[in-house]
């Protein structure tokens, strides 16, 4: 069973700062799939980044301050300069399994 | 515009049943896998079940296996979740979601969710 461990649980930053969110997968697979979502209170999750066979893709309408990377079983979501609307909870997901989330707060 | 609209959530007693529906529009529903994902109050996301394009393959998370059944009606652009033997721990907002083709169960569009509350 795949387990995704996100860190940190909470990230306290200011607008304009850089955010680095981590997601570690318990298993390595030959083909790489992962997705990152943003969720604000009372809203459905929104797809930000998805990875198919090692190719990182931003979802439609997602600004380029959001980017993703991978090193082995460690995946990173980077928000280059936080905008006020970026303060939310972020989830990674792989093969239907979700991480526990990282809250980015002001 | 891609839209997914869920309905059917309600307050139900433990042991009861409920059927959730999700109507899709703005894309060819019959060519996509679809899923149900839930979120208990104040908690994270949990994938519940998914179904392939023609309904011939379905998968359910262990915690709902034998109690919940996912199905679809492509003629009506609709996705369903039949929930039986409901428990308090099934209380959650239930989202339907479209799967990215070849994306290993990642979701590019979500509905707004429907609340299921299991309580006496």
Over residues B65-106, the pLDDT tens digits come to 999 999 999 999 999 999 999 999 999 999 999 999 876 778
Q: CB A95 to CB B105 under 8 A? A: yes
Q: Which residue of A has its CA nearest to B111?
A: A44
Nearest to A98 among B44, B102, B112 (CB): B44
Quote the tokens at residue A103: 């809250």
Confidence of residue A95 (pLDDT cuts 50, 70, 90): confident
Specify the DSSP class assigned to residue A85: G
B27 lies within 8 A of chain A by CB? no
pLDDT of A26 strictly over 90: no
Q: What's A71's DSSP letter?
A: E
How does DSSP classify residue A81?
S
For residue B48, give the nearest of B38, B33, B34 by alpha carbon: B38
What would the mean pLDDT of A11-26 be, rounded to a whole number? Answer: 95
Residue A23 reports pLDDT greater than 60: yes
Residue A61 CB contacts under 8 Å (≥ 6 apart), including other chains: none
Torsion of CA B116, B40, A11, A32, to 10 degrees: -100
Given a contact cutoff of 8 angstroms between Cβ atoms, the answer to whether A26 and A4 are in contact is yes
Q: Name, in order, each residue with C-beta under 8 angstroms of B75's C-beta and a sequence gap of 6 or more.
A: none
What are A59-71's pLDDT values in tens digits?
999 999 999 999 8
Residue A2 at interface with chain B, using a CB cutoff of 8 Å: no
Q: What is the mean pLDDT of residues A81-102?
A: 94
Is the per-residue pLDDT at A30 higher than 70?
A: no
Across the interface, do A99 and B46 touch by the CB < 8 Å criterion? no
One DSSP character per residue, B43-103 reads: S-EEEEEEE-TTSS-EEE-GGGTTTEEEEEEGGGTEEEEEE-S--GGG-EEEEEEEEPTTS
Q: Mind listing the pLDDT tens digit for each residue in B5-64?
A: 999 999 999 999 999 999 999 999 999 999 999 999 999 999 999 999 999 999 999 999
């Amino acid at each position: 069973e795949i387990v995704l461990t996100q860190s940190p649980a909470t990230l306290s930053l200011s607008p304009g700062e850089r955010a680095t969110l981590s997601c570690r997968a318990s298993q390595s697979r030959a083909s790489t799939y992962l997705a990152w979502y943003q969720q604000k209170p009372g809203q459905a999750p929104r797809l930000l980044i998805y990875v198919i066979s090692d190719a990182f893709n931003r979802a439609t309408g997602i600004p380029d301050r959001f980017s993703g990377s991978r090193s082995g079983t460690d995946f990173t979501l980077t928000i280059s300069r936080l905008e006020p609307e970026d303060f939310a909870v972020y989830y990674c997901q792989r093969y239907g399994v979700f991480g526990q989330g990282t809250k980015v707060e002001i | 515009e891609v839209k997914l609209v869920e309905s059917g959530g309600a307050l139900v007693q433990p042991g009861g049943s409920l059927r959730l529906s999700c109507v899709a529009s703005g894309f060819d529903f019959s060519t996509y896998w679809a899923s149900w994902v839930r979120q208990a109050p104040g908690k994270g996301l949990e994938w519940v079940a998914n179904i392939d394009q023609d309904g011939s393959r379905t998968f359910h998370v262990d915690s709902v296996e034998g109690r919940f059944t996912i199905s679809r009606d492509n003629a009506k652009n609709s996705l369903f979740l039949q929930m039986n033997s409901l428990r308090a721990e099934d209380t959650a907002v239930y989202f339907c979601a479209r799967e990215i083709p070849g994306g290993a169960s990642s979701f590019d569009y979500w509905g707004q969710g429907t609340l299921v509350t299991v309580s006496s």
